[in-house]
Chains A and B, each alone.
Chain A
Amino acid sequence: MDKRIRGRLWVIGALIVVSIISLVPRNTKQRVIDSSTGRLKDTTVRRLPINLGLDLQGGIHLALEVDQSKGPVPDCADAIQRAERVVRTRIDEFGTTEPVVQIQGRCRLIVELAGEKDPGRAKGVIQRTAFLEFRITDMKSQFKDALPQIDAALRKAGIKSRNAAPSAVAQLFGGDTGKSKSKRDTTSDANAPGVLSSLLFQGQLPGEFLVPEEQWPLVDSLIQRPDVRAQIPRSIELRWGAQAESRSARSYRPLYAVESRPIITGEELTKAVARRDQVTNQSIVTFQLSRRGARIFSQETGRHINDFMAIILDGRVQGEPPVIKNQIGANGQIELGSKPLQEASDLALVLRAGALPAPLTIVDERAISASLGADSIHDGVLAGVVGVVLVIVIMIGYYRIAGALAVAALTLYCLFTLAGLAAFGFTLTLPGMAGFVLSIGIAVDANVLIFERIREELVHGKSLRLAVDEGFLHAMNAIVDSNVSTILTALILYAVGTGPVQGFAITLIIGIIASMVSAIFVVKTLFLIWLNRRPNMVTLSI
């Protein structure tokens, strides 16, 4: 018996420790995209597991608009409406963070995040919903063919090549760069090297060019010029790679010529996971598309077998474009060869994140105060305290010592529930607090059932110990059946509902599980200890 109690106490102790740990503010590592370089990097943020909502402590207000700088978006109202849905589901995955996502006017989206004071982090949240697209690289070398005209246009504008290599589109690995440099001196002015083409090295795949890292800003300024843009074929656009690549001890920045029409955008993407293939030991990313997306994607990839597909996030090509091996339907995979798994997970993260129907930019950001006045918050807290005190008074007044044990278990119920909510990154609003107070009132139900059963058994003349055992046993049927059906209801609410309904379902499930653990397991343990301490007890204070 003693051993049994000790075992139970260990379990309770472990639960308490885990709960407390999960409620302590902690540093979490996040992989976010650096907005200036487009690279993924680790950032550490210190955050409280349970946040206070916009109504209690305010937060940050961001206004977003469709980014028209990289080409006009014909119907911005429609784009914003679809973006609203995406942003809402992405930043509020479980329906628990209580953000405000709201369309303002026609083409503007308001996003408000609770407790966020740092604009940098808020931007990180928007980056989590970046604009993703898949485009086929320039397979027909249209850009390469247009290079002479571009060079001519630049020459006409009076731009001279500086320390450039002479041969047009030097083969990076074929030609010896040292040799070609020496050739430069001999070239006559008449067939002077192209300003742009001399800066580009042909990459390994069609449409890929490499630019030495230090020339990157120069090339970028060249290709942004209107006269250059006029010469680029209309079906082609240029996109920089996100990461620099090192070849023979030098760092190069890849530039990709890609088709201007994306074959699919991230809006259609539903899932992406990175893993390592056990057989070939390759890193791969598998992804899943929506039904509509799958139809489009299988059509497009069927037409582009053996072509290369650039994965572009917010205008930057992520990693090396993979080759399309066969038609891809709803489920595709991207093979990264022997690259480390970290790179595959980064790509999966990018794929999961990018889902906007159009690129968005932040046009305004401000801190906002709590939407509820201090007086409403004060009233709400007072009502909550009074409600909890009433529960305690009723329980102890009616059930005496047994009631006190139930109240002790209730404090653990609160701890477990809060820890469970923290695991889902909950944001606590004033109505949320009211719901929590109410759940405390409901949580005593299991104990009431058990105590009433014990009383019935005692009235039947059973001994104390037997009455306690039977009381717990007989009450169990009712507790399990009623709680399981409520959990089933909550699961359906979570599966079918959206946003706040899902958040409600999670709260309900966590509350029920916590109340079952505290009312059954914890209270039973306390009863066992109580009975063990007083072996000669004749009447139970219940």
Chain B
Amino acid sequence: MIRLFANANYDFIKWRRWAFSLTGAIMLVGLIFLVTRGVNYSIEFTGGTLVQFEVAHKVPTASIRSALDDAGLSGADIQNFGSDTSYVVRARLGADATQGEAGTQAVADAVARALDRSVGARQYQIMQRQAVGPKVGRELQGKALAAILLSFVVTLIYLAVRFEWRFGLAAVIATAHDIVATIAFISAMHLEVSLIVVGAVLTVVGYSLNDTIIIFDRVRENLRKYRRQNLYEILNLSINETLPRSVLTHGTTIATTLALLILAGEVIRPFAWVMSFGIFTGTFSSIYIAAPVLLWIEKRWPGQDARGARTFGVRAPAGATSPDATRPVPATSSPRAPQPAR
């Protein structure tokens, strides 16, 4: 059998300050772009202009599409409307589309310019042009955010029951980090925020939470198993033990998102970008945000047990308290002194 990272023994936690700096830098860059450029919402959120026109002879839709792209109306919706020679186009000019009559006129002019070139002047007739509202209800963004915040509370409660409140808080902070980092990534890349991208961000939330809990589950188990190690060592041991799983799972998901990113074309690309980054940050945060934050919380608010967060849930039976003899005791190879001992 192939075993990757079978007996890995890396001191992950040691690098936490570097990790914090890295993620802080990403967020800072994202924040700067967010403030200077704002969020680039797609036509689904902003609305745009609808132009209906008829052409004298049938032309391939692809040529109209490329002409519209050249005229600055990239990503326009182009549909046959009733017949082969009748089209309806929904588009907007750039990210900061001017609303109202001026914007409508500008888009209509751009469509006319594009048609002059692709179909030929006088070969088409514009039947109607009008502003169209957003396809997505205005309340969607606000409600999605409210839902995420509320789900944090529920996650916190669930993890407090199943693990311990310190774990819940660390997991929620790691997940919140992922959302902020993903938004920073979106604004740094200047990706258009469409419904698909909102869906990708939500997927990242679920994915990251999942990953954090799987590592925490191992921490919970190891805390019961090895009573002599401190939390610093237990966290490192747990991350190392789950490493083969992490590599495999993230490997398969990254493989699928990369396939989507490279092959799937323009429509899926923003989704694939956000997912690729999300899988990266979700994995990163489980190791470098969730675990160090747990360590920090434990230092700040120590558990009743002298050696740290071991007071949760069911007490391990007496037999399980001694370390498993067959297991290699994790080396405390860190040059730094073990952290949480007081």
Q: Which residues of A contact B (CB under 8 A)?
A: 55, 58, 61, 84-85, 88, 100-105, 108, 110, 366-373, 375-376, 379-380, 382-384, 386-388, 390-391, 394-395, 397-400, 430-431, 434-435, 437-438, 440-442, 444-445, 448-449, 452, 455-456, 459-461, 474, 477-478, 481-486, 488-490, 492-493, 495-501, 504, 508, 541-542
- Pick from A369, A394, A460: contact of B251, CB under 8 Å: A394
| Chain B residue at minimum C-beta to C-beta distance from A392 | B252
A338 vs B259: C-alpha distance in the bound complex, in angstroms?
64
- Pick from B6, B210, B268: contact of A430, CB under 8 Å: B268
Known: A102-B135, A498-B137. A380 touches B209 (CB 8 A): no
Known: A369-B80, A449-B214, A484-B158. A383 touches B248 (CB 8 A): no
Contact B260 A497 (CB under 8 A): no
A110 vs B79: C-alpha distance in the bound complex, in angstroms?
14
Interface centre among B143, B206, B242, B272 (most CB of A within 10 A): B206
| Chain A residue at minimum C-beta to C-beta distance from B261 | A383
Residues of B within 8 A of A100 (CB): 135
Known: A492-B147, A498-B139. A375 touches B199 (CB 8 A): no
Known: A105-B130, A482-B209. A452 touches B136 (CB 8 A): no
Q: Mark B18-57, 1 if CB is under 8 A from A, else 0.
A: 0000000000000000000000000000010010000000
| Chain A residue at minimum C-beta to C-beta distance from B4 | A398
Instruction: Give 15 pairs: A residue, B residue, CB < 8 Å, sorted on A.
Output: A368-B81, A373-B61, A380-B268, A399-B1, A438-B256, A441-B253, A441-B257, A445-B245, A460-B326, A477-B217, A482-B213, A486-B209, A498-B137, A499-B137, A500-B195
| Chain A residue at minimum C-beta to C-beta distance from B153 | A492
Within 8 A of A (CB), among B133-156: 133-137, 139-140, 143-144, 146-148, 150-151, 154-155
Contact A500 B140 (CB under 8 A): yes
A500 vs B272: C-alpha distance in the bound complex, in angstroms?
18
Contact A85 B210 (CB under 8 A): no
Residues of B within 8 A of A474 (CB): 221
- Overall SS of chain B's interface: helix
Q: Mark B61-87, 1 if CB is under 8 A from A, else 0.
A: 110010000000000011111100010
A490 vs B151: C-alpha distance in the bound complex, in angstroms?
8
Contact B255 A391 (CB under 8 A): yes
Residues of A within 8 A of B209 (CB): 482, 485-486, 489
A377 vs B312: C-alpha distance in the bound complex, in angstroms?
51
Residues of A within 8 A of B262 (CB): 383
Contact B199 A542 (CB under 8 A): no
B188 contacts chain A at the CB level, 8 A cutoff: no
Contact A438 B326 (CB under 8 A): no
Contact A103 B271 (CB under 8 A): no
A490 vs B133: C-alpha distance in the bound complex, in angstroms?
29
Contact A488 B245 (CB under 8 A): no
Known: A61-B81, A486-B210. A438 touches B245 (CB 8 A): no
A390 vs B77: C-alpha distance in the bound complex, in angstroms?
32
Please give the distance in Å from B203's CB to the nearest CB on chain A: 7
B249 contacts chain A at the CB level, 8 A cutoff: yes
Residues of A within 8 A of B326 (CB): 460-461
Residues of B within 8 A of A441 (CB): 252-253, 255-257
Contact A449 B245 (CB under 8 A): yes
- Nearest first, the 10 closest Cβ-Cβ pairs linking A and B are A103-B133, A369-B80, A383-B264, A366-B82, A387-B256, A383-B263, A496-B147, A379-B265, A478-B217, A387-B259
A58 vs B78: C-alpha distance in the bound complex, in angstroms?
11
Residues of A within 8 A of B65 (CB): 373
A496 vs B263: C-alpha distance in the bound complex, in angstroms?
35
Known: A367-B82, A368-B81, A481-B213. A390 touches B267 (CB 8 A): no
Residues of A within 8 A of B50 (CB): 104, 110
Known: A102-B132, A372-B267. A452 touches B147 (CB 8 A): no
Residues of A within 8 A of B146 (CB): 496
Residues of B within 8 A of A367 (CB): 80, 82
Residues of B within 8 A of A399 (CB): 1
Contact A448 B150 (CB under 8 A): no
Residues of B within 8 A of A455 (CB): 1, 3, 244
Known contacts A482-B210, A493-B144, then 7 further A-B pairs from the complex at CB < 8 Å, ordered by chain A residue = A371-B79, A441-B253, A452-B244, A459-B6, A481-B217, A486-B209, A501-B198
A117 vs B269: C-alpha distance in the bound complex, in angstroms?
30
